[in-house]
Amino acid sequence: MGEHTGRSGQAYGIDIGGSGIKGAVVDVSTGTLVTPRTRILTPQPSTPDAVAQVVVQLLADADWAGPVGATFPAVISHGVARSAANVDKSWIGTDVDACFTEATGHGTDVIVLNDADAAGIAEARFGAAKGVPGVVILLTFGTGIGSALLMDGRLVPNTELGHLELDGHDAETRAAASVKDEEKLSYKKWAKRVETYMSHVERLFTPDLFVVGGGVSKDSDKWVPLLELNTPVKPAELLNDAGIVGAAIAAAERHGE
């Protein structure tokens, strides 16, 4: 085996999205990637078997046989997908943990978690929510709206706050970043929708901090200052690496590293 065979304090993180699957070895004590990020296009159709083969390929390329964590764009309850966003509907009811663990074939236990939950774990440990006590809500704005709820840095899994009903609509159909692009909204107009949505979340949870992530967080200076909320708002800090880092942390913790 190569140099990355399950070193202590390291885990392999995989971020599975509708268009690409990314992976890297992570030093879980610092949240840094210790290998370059590898990206493979998500197979079409993105069935469990097809995606599992990409996971196997990533691990083989890295010569990795230690703890593995993977994010997935779905509600994951005890390893089983209860929904499927931007991936094949055949995932619903699939034990994703078991599917990936069996595919790797050499006893590599794969822990799977929701993609926004993974980002929340990473931001709480190493990013915008580091050391923040109380209730923190991470919202990721992308194709839809993902959410992670943290209490004193500990994750409450599988919140789906992007699907709150707002003015008779599923909130993410009004305020996701993809809607900004489709409807060619200015940052000012889109930020108004985001503010309406976030003030609704604020009334329900009274968080101590909002962290906003997703692709638009790199342009946070164009829209975050426009939000008028009672809660402080910070842009996510780990950006593209948050899912990989959060998945690796979850894997390392399961293995007691």
- Let me know whether 99 and 144 are in one domain: no
Which CATH number goes with the domain that contains 15? 3.30.420.40
Name the domain count of the chain. 2
- Let me know whether 166 and 195 are in one domain: yes
Q: Which pLDDT belongs to residue 84? A: 81
For the segment 100-137, what is each residue's pLDDT rounded down to a tens digit?
999 988 667 899 999 999 999 999 999 999 999 999 99
- Let me know whether 80 and 133 are in one domain: no
Position 57 in a domain: yes
- Let me know whether 142 and 70 are in one domain: no
**Cβ contact 121:129 at 8 Å:** no
Position 245 in a domain: yes
- Let me know whether 103 and 35 are in one domain: yes
For residue 3, pLDDT over 50 is answered with no
For the segment 160-172, what is each residue's pLDDT rounded down to a tens digit?
999 999 889 999 9
- Let me know whether 41 and 66 are in one domain: yes
For residue 33, pLDDT over 90 is answered with yes
- Let me know whether 223 and 247 are in one domain: no
Position 2 in a domain: no
Q: Which pLDDT belongs to residue 172? A: 94
- Let me know whether 145 and 228 are in one domain: yes
Both structure tokens of 161: 């706050």
- Let me know whether 224 and 245 are in one domain: no
The Cα–Cα gap between 248 and 227 comes to 32
For the segment 131-158, what is each residue's pLDDT rounded down to a tens digit?
999 999 999 999 899 999 999 999 999 9
Q: Which pLDDT belongs to residue 149? A: 98
- Let me know whether 134 and 223 are in one domain: yes
Q: Which pLDDT belongs to residue 167? A: 87
What mean pLDDT is reported for the chain? 93
Position 34 in a domain: yes
For residue 1, pLDDT over 50 is answered with no
Direct distance between the N- and C-terminal alpha carbons of the chain, in angstroms, rounded to an integer = 20
pLDDT band at 2 (very low <50, low <70, confident <90, very high): very low
- Let me know whether 149 and 224 are in one domain: yes
For residue 6, pLDDT over 60 is answered with no
Position 50 in a domain: yes
Position 5 in a domain: no
**Cβ contact 124:153 at 8 Å:** yes
For residue 248, pLDDT over 90 is answered with yes
Domain membership of residue 15 as a residue range: 10-115+241-254
For residue 85, pLDDT over 80 is answered with no
For residue 204, pLDDT over 90 is answered with yes
When pLDDT is averaged across residues 184-199 and rounded to a whole number, the result is: 97
- Let me know whether 132 and 214 are in one domain: yes
Position 149 in a domain: yes
Instruction: Give the CA dihedral 202, 203, 204, 210, nearest 10 degrees.
Output: 10
Kindly report the pTM of this predicted structure. 0.93
Position 144 in a domain: yes
When pLDDT is averaged across residues 197-210 and rounded to a whole number, the result is: 98
The Cα–Cα gap between 230 and 205 comes to 12
